[in-house]
């Protein structure tokens, strides 16, 4: 690989000298002078070097001394540049198949080597996760237990409130579906925490917080806004259709057939006619109840009554978006440092872990509006106690980590 790169760089570096040699050969020929190829290349190198002194050949040994003046015009320089561009373009075109062949062979070798190296990497990962569990295990186990209780609460609510063979009321349908999704995201977050990816877990908490916000708004306003929320899927379908029509060819997707396009547009028009022009906006499903034509997610947070979490939501956004703050603001780094964290870390699990527990409880508590039985009340109280224990366990592990650092 290195030798191939060196050869390529040598060809590119020598191209201007070779082109200049051909120009010098023609100019000397017109003056009745012929130089050997080696002398021509030395002459060209002498000019490129820009020493400012005359170039002396070995011809004086067999011929009379002659002083010849050669002029390199602007057109000659332009010709050299044009030839150089042609060479580099030609190289780029011809290198494509070469690069593919080299990469193909290298991939085969890498896969063979990785079978052994991968086993070692897997062992190191398991050892790292064992060390992480020794420090954070109590908090992580309690968080897993909390998730189990939340899933059980959701299961019981579905069993009691979702009728068989007929559709559930909009509020019941939306809250149960959002709660189910929240449990799945919490499970993903716990996996990330157990593997040492605190920033990834915080990014997933951000989604959990969005689900909590929407759930609170739906629970607050009831069936009408829940129906609007469910119907708003046609707005998302229309957005997706517009994007596919714009970029489908570049993505090499199959063209969208006329019937599909017409059906999506008809559903979009019907929904806007039914719910109003504001329904077209991103959070248009909440426009009527929030009293705003184009509500923002911040408006939803305020309506949900959980605006005190906005700072944490902003912090979590650094792990999601490609903003410059995310280059340094990382939970996986214990201190403010220039270390580049490209993998897992034993630090920073406390904030995302406790935040996930709190948010999961918030979403689960809304199920009491659907079924406030004694069993569910006891289950929620257990979850509250467990969430507090989780906060203490994560905090204790973090303090011990600081002491050991």
Q: Is the pLDDT of residue 77 over 50?
A: yes
Q: Are 288 and 279 in contact (CB under 8 A)?
A: no
Q: What value does the mean pLDDT of the chain take?
A: 86
Reported as a single tens digit per residue, the pLDDT across 155-208 is 999 998 888 877 889 999 999 999 999 999 999 999 999 999 999 999 999 999
Confidence (pLDDT) at 86 = 72
Reported as a single tens digit per residue, the pLDDT across 235-265 is 999 999 999 988 888 888 888 889 999 999 9
How far is residue 16 CA from its own chain's centroid? 43
CA 348-351-355 angle, 5° bins: 145
Reported as a single tens digit per residue, the pLDDT across 41-68 is 787 777 777 766 777 776 544 455 667 7
Helix (H, G, I), strand (E, B) or coil at 72: coil
Q: Is the pLDDT of residue 4 over 60?
A: no
Which of residues 99 and 224 earns the better pLDDT score?
Answer: 224
Identify the band that residue 141 occupies on the pLDDT scale cut at 50, 70 and 90.
very high
Confidence (pLDDT) at 166 = 78
What percentage of residues in the chain have a pLDDT greater than 90?
53
Q: Are 196 and 348 in contact (CB under 8 A)?
A: no
Q: What share of the chain is helix, strand, coil (3-state, %, to 5)?
A: 80, 0, 20
Identify the band that residue 38 occupies on the pLDDT scale cut at 50, 70 and 90.
confident
Concatenated DSSP letters of 184-223: HHHHHHHHHHHTT-HHHHHHHHHHHHHHHHHHHHHHHH-H
Q: Which of 36-40, 74-78, 202-206, 244-248 has the highest mean pLDDT?
A: 202-206
* Owner of token pair 């799945």: 184
Which of residues 126 and 29 earns the better pLDDT score?
Answer: 126
CA 343-347-349 angle, 5° bins: 100
Q: Is the pLDDT of residue 150 over 90?
A: yes
Confidence (pLDDT) at 62 = 47
Q: Is the pLDDT of residue 121 over 50?
A: yes
Confidence (pLDDT) at 351 = 94
């Amino acid at each position: 690989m290195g030798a191939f790169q060196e050869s390529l760089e040598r060809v590119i570096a020598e191209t201007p000298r070779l082109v200049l040699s051909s120009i010098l050969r023609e100019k000397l020929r017109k003056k009745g002078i012929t130089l050997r190829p080696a002398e021509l290349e030395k002459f060209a190198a002498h000019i490129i070097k820009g020493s400012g002194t005359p170039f002396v050949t070995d011809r004086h040994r067999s011929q009379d001394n002659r002083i010849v003046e050669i002029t390199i015009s602007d057109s000659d320089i332009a010709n050299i540049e044009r030839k150089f561009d042609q060479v580099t373009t030609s190289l780029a075109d011809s290198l494509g198949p070469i690069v593919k062949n080299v990469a193909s062979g290298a991939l085969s070798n890498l896969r063979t080597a990785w079978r052994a190296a991968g086993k070692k990497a897997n062992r190191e990962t398991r050892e790292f996760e064992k060390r992480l569990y020794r420090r954070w295990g109590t908090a992580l186990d309690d968080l897993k237990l909390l998730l189990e209780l939340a899933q059980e609460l959701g299961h019981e609510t579905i069993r009691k409130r979702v009728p068989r063979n007929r559709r559930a009321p909009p509020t019941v349908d939306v809250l149960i579906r959002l709660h189910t999704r929240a449990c799945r995201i919490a499970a993903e977050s716990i996996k990330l925490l157990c593997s040492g990816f605190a920033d990834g877990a915080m990014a997933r908490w951000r989604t959990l917080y969005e689900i909590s916000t929407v759930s609170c708004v739906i629970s607050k306003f009831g069936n009408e806004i829940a129906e609007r929320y469910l119907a708003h899927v046609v707005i998302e379908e229309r957005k997706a259709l517009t994007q596919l029509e714009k970029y489908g060819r570049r993505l090499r997707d199959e063209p969208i057939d006329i019937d599909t396009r017409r059906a999506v547009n008809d559903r979009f028009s019907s929904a806007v006619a039914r719910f109003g022009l504001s329904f077209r906006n991103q959070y248009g499903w909440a426009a009527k109840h929030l009293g705003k034509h184009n509500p923002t997610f911040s408006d939803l947070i305020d309506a949900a009554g959980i605006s005190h979490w906005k700072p944490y939501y902003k912090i979590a956004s650094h792990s999601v978006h490609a903003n410059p703050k995310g280059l340094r603001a990382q939970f996986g780094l214990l201190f403010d440092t220039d270390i580049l964290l490209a993998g897992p870390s034993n630090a920073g699990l406390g904030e995302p872990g406790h935040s996930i527990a709190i948010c999961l409880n918030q979403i689960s508590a809304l199920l009491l509006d659907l079924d406030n039985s004694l069993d569910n009340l006891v289950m929620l109280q257990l979850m509250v106690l467990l969430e507090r224990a989780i906060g203490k366990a994560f905090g204790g592990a973090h303090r011990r980590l600081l002491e050991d650092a």
